[in-house]
Amino acid sequence: MTKKWFHCFIRESDREVPSSCPSTLLNAFLVALFILLIFIFSFSRLEYDFHWAGVWAYRVKFVRGLGMTLVLSFFSLIVSFLLGALFALGQKSRFLPFYFFSRFYVEIIRGTPLLVQILVFFYVIADAFHVQNRYVTGVMILSLFAGAYISEIIRAGIDSIGETQLETARSLGLTRFQQYRFIIFPQVFKRIIPPLAGQLVSLIKDSSLLSIISVSEFTLNAQEVNAYTYSTLESYLPLAVGYLLITYPISSLSKKLERTFSYET
């Protein structure tokens, strides 16, 4: 009996789904029911009287904020991928100034909180270069932040390529550019897709911090609705649900891609 339940709880790999365990739908239902009961119990203890009518009047504001979050995240992902690819190559570069600048950029971004970066970039750098558009500034900040992590993802993907393959390529007379084009990049792209999808989820959630510089995205709009209606829970519950509706499909896709593109080491 113990072995059977241990087999149900602990899988040998992500590809394996034990047939002797309860169905996936039943498990999902039980988990959802448990979470729902926790919320029902919590709200019953609070004795909170919900007033959804006031918040419903601002439903268009929620939709616009959600749309702006998606737009900001989309453009930030594109720019951050380009930056990540550039600085990943910089970390492999033989040109020392480019190498050290790439390392400095990655360590600075990864070593400081995003909130601090937003404040410094907006009130110092953007102001010094007279960048007035808050949305452009927001995309630049998110791109620089995510670019450092994407750079590490790509660099790790490059490092995962076996040295034997590169030695074989060199013995065949392939140039360094040809090695990257025909051997490294095709394999790296397949291996970095799952973590890139995970990075997109983080990027969407991190965009909520742009509300501190008054970028009219999902979180700021929810805060404004709360200020108009004095309905705190009614304003922030749709916010939580909205982020979940965006990130959960991407997170599920990330898991699926991870299983699809998994490889044995």
Query: What are 159-180's pLDDT values in tens digits?
Result: 888 778 878 888 888 888 888 7
Is residue 41 included in any domain, yes or no? Answer: no
Does the structure show a pLDDT above 60 at 9? no
Is residue 87 included in any domain, yes or no? Answer: yes
Q: What is the pLDDT of residue 226?
A: 92
CATH number of the CATH domain containing 87: 1.10.3720.10
Is residue 58 included in any domain, yes or no? Answer: no
Q: What is the pLDDT of residue 88?
A: 93
Look at 213 and 27; give whichever has higher pLDDT: 213
* CB contact at 8 A, 206 and 142: yes
How does residue 186 score in pLDDT terms, banded at 50, 70 and 90? confident
Q: What is the pLDDT of residue 82?
A: 95
pLDDT in tens, 151-163: 999 998 888 887 7
Residue 121 tokens read as: 């970039």
**Residue position matching structure tokens 């790439």:** 102
Total domains in the chain come to 1
C-alpha to C-alpha distance for 257 and 130, rounded to whole angstroms: 42
Give the 3-state DSSP-derived string for the chain, with helices as H, strands as E and coil as C.
Answer: CHHHHHHHHCCCCCCCCCCCCCCHHHHHHHHHHHHHHHHHHHHHHHCCCCCHHHHHCCHHHHHHHHHHHHHHHHHHHHHHHHHHHHHHHHCCCCCHHHHHHHHHHHHHHHHCCHHHHHHHHHHHHHHHCCCCCHHHHHHHHHHHHHHHHHHHHHHHHHHCCCHHHHHHHHHCCCCHHHHHHHHHHHHHHHHHHHHHHHHHHHHHHHHHHHHHHCCCCHHHHHHHHHHHHCCHHHHHHHHHHHHHHHHHHHHHHHHHHHHHCCCCC
Could you tell me how far CA 207 lies from the centroid of its own chain?
Answer: 10
Is residue 255 included in any domain, yes or no? Answer: yes
Is residue 22 included in any domain, yes or no? Answer: no
Is residue 24 included in any domain, yes or no? Answer: no
Whole-structure pTM value: 0.81
Is residue 40 included in any domain, yes or no? Answer: no
Q: What is the pLDDT of residue 265?
A: 46
Does the structure show a pLDDT above 80 at 257? no
Please give the residue range of the domain that contains residue 96.
Answer: 66-260
Is residue 166 included in any domain, yes or no? Answer: yes
